[in-house]
């Protein structure tokens, strides 16, 4: 029998091996979205399926249970807050979940979602939901099977949500979304009734893409993304792929008439990337060295995109540089004009382009519909109609096409049911983290001067470097002194901002 320390070291060696395999899969996923020719989808499905089953085989190796038993209760994990104890806690959860999933299901999911992503791209381009429908039906069937295999107490959605936000249930999300929606809908109405509007046409001008890319890369580097360990490319749907230490890849998409679409997308993905780049690289492969949860991950992107990137201090520094980047384009626009334009509240169809007041309604819509599809209460064939009806009720807008409706997001095509609520959790966590970090001496003055290091350092110390040593609720408590408080977003942040532009509070 190995000593507890030797058993722990063996566990970490095995974890690192399958983490490396997962990083290979991440490279293939990035390539599929950015470089792969359409004809490669079939082979890519086989490649990703092979890697997924290789990882699964290692996770269900019976030797893991023996090694975990050797470590459990030993002096190696005597301190429940140690990295080692977190490793064993997270690894036990991972191994137990993997053991419940048949190898055949893992392989089939990898193949089906690879084909689904390619079908989604083509369906979105053609505005043809029928092209994607059979793929979504197949994915849902497999995700129901996954939920049943993993097991749940409340409803199937819980088993899938737990993969992204450990310990959170659909009922927990309901307790957040129900009051949040009830507060946001009248707030958005009050904004509309205020009669105040930003100057028209500020954001609809000629913004050459090559200049957009340079300006966005400069901003991402300024806030802390290291391009010596990362890159920026284009894709149909913006994303960040943290492949491993020294390799983090961002994507965005450009609109030559509106710089804000790509720019805030880059800030968003750079926020994810900075988190990935500041995880404890010396522990790479250990379960505790991974990101805490997707809600916490999203908090980092939303913080930089919105709560910093749409703020006065940020544009005090960057507005003169924006004018220089696009000579003559913004000569008639003041910084305050721009601030109002980029913070305008206007219900719109596309989630990734939504303003901060309406964004969470987009998530509530998706949460409601994917729950219904998972239980079978909503047939995939009826998804476009259900989407359009619910969108009209929430936003007062008639959806003109499916690529501006139920086809706009990539998530369901890669099997990401249960993923969407983490976006709203991220918004809420971000406001709370920003509030705590604002107590740093002169932090806004530093940002206005172009010095983002104090804020980035605070995030690194309190969020990034802690990895998955603590679960999300505990991480939030340690960083801010409180558990998750949605009012930090709605009252302390959003209402205060909107009162400036719209006079509502």
| CATH among 1.25.40.10, 1.20.1300.10, 1.10.10.10, 1.10.1370.30 for 171-502 | 1.10.1370.30
Active site residue 269: yes
Token representation of residue 291: 């990101």
Mean pLDDT of the chain: 96
Range list of β-strands (E), 215-355: 230-234, 240-244, 247-252
pLDDT at 352 over 90: no
Residues whose CB falls within 8 Å of the CB of residue 58, separated by 6 or more in sequence, listed in order: 14, 17, 18, 21
The reported pLDDT for the residue numbered 286 is 98
The pLDDT tens digits for 411-464 are 999 999 999 999 999 999 999 999 999 988 999 999 999 999 999 999 999 999
Beta pairing partners, 248: 230, 242
Residues, the chain, total?
505
Span 303-317, average pLDDT: 97
pLDDT at 131 over 80: yes
Could you give phi then psi for residue 201, rounded to 5 degrees? 80, 0
Q: Helix, strand or coil for residue 436?
A: helix
Task: Band the pLDDT of 1: cuts 50, 70, 90.
Answer: confident
Cβ-based neighbour number of residue 233 at 10 Å: 13
Which one from 90, 118, 261, 269 is the annotated catalytic residue?
A: 269
The full set of domain ranges for the chain reads 4-128, 171-502
Rounded Cα distance between 429 and 432, Å, is: 5
pLDDT at 505 over 90: no
Task: Band the pLDDT of 192: cuts 50, 70, 90.
Answer: very high
Token representation of residue 426: 């991220």
The pLDDT tens digits for 6-40 are 999 999 999 999 999 999 999 999 999 999 998 99
Token representation of residue 162: 């737990």
């Amino acid at each position: 029998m190995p000593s507890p320390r030797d058993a722990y070291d063996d566990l970490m060696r095995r974890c690192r091996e399958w983490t490396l395999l997962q990083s290979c899969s991440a490279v293939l996923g990035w390539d599929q979205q950015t470089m792969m020719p359409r004809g490669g989808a079939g082979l890519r499905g086989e490649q990703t399926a092979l890697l997924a089953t290789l990882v699964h085989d290692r996770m269900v190796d019976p030797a893991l249970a023996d090694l975990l038993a050797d470590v459990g209760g030993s002096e190696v994990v005597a301190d429940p807050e140690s990295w080692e104890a977190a490793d064993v806690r997270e690894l036990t959860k991972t191994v137990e979940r993997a053991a419940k999933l048949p190898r055949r299901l893992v392989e089939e999911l990898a193949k089906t979602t690879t084909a689904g992503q390619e079908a989604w791209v083509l369906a979105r381009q053609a505005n043809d939901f029928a092209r994607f429908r059979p793929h979504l039906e197949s994915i849902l069937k497999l995700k129901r099977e996954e939920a049943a295999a993993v097991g749940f107490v409340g409803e199937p959605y819980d088993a899938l949500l737990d993969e992204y936000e450990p310990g959170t249930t659909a009922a927990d999300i309901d307790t957040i979304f129900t009051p949040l929606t009830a507060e946001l809908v009248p707030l958005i109405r009050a904004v509309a009734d205020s009669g105040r509007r930003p100057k028209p046409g500020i954001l609809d001008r000629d913004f050459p893409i090559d200049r957009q890319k340079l300006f966005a890369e400069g901003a991402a580097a300024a806030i802390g993304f290291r391009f010596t360990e990362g890159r920026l490319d284009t894709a149909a749907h913006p994303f960040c792929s943290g492949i491993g230490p020294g390799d983090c890849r961002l994507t965005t998409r450009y609109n030559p008439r509106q710089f804000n679409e790509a720019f805030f997308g880059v800030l968003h993905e750079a926020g994810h990337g900075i988190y990935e780049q500041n995880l404890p690289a010396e522990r790479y492969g250990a379960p505790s060295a991974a990101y805490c949860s997707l809600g916490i991950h999203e908090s980092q992107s939303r913080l930089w995109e919105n709560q910093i990137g749409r703020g006065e201090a940020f544009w005090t520094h960057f507005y003169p540089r924006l004018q220089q980047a696009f000579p003559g384009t913004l000569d008639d626009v003041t910084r305050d004009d721009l601030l109002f334009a980029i913070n305008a509240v206007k219900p719109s169809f596309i989630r990734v382009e939504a303003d901060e007041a309406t964004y969470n309604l987009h998530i509530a819509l998706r949460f409601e519909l994917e729950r219904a599809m998972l239980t079978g209460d909503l047939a995939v064939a009826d998804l476009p109609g259900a989407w359009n009806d619910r969108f009209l009720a929430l936003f007062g807008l008639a959806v003109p096409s499916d690529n501006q409706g139920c086809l706009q997001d990539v998530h369901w095509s890669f099997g990401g049911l249960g993923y969407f609520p983490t976006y709203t959790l991220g918004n809420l966590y971000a406001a709370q983290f920003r509030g705590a970090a604002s107590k740093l001496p002169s932090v806004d003055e530093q940002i206005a001067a172009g010095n983002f290091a104090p804020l980035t350092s605070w995030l690194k110390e309190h969020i990034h470097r802690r990895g998955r040593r603590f679960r999300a609720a505990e991480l939030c408590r340690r960083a801010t002194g409180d558990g998750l408080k949605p009012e930090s977003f709605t009252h302390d942040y959003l209402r205060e901002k909107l009162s400036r532009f719209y006079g509502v509070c």
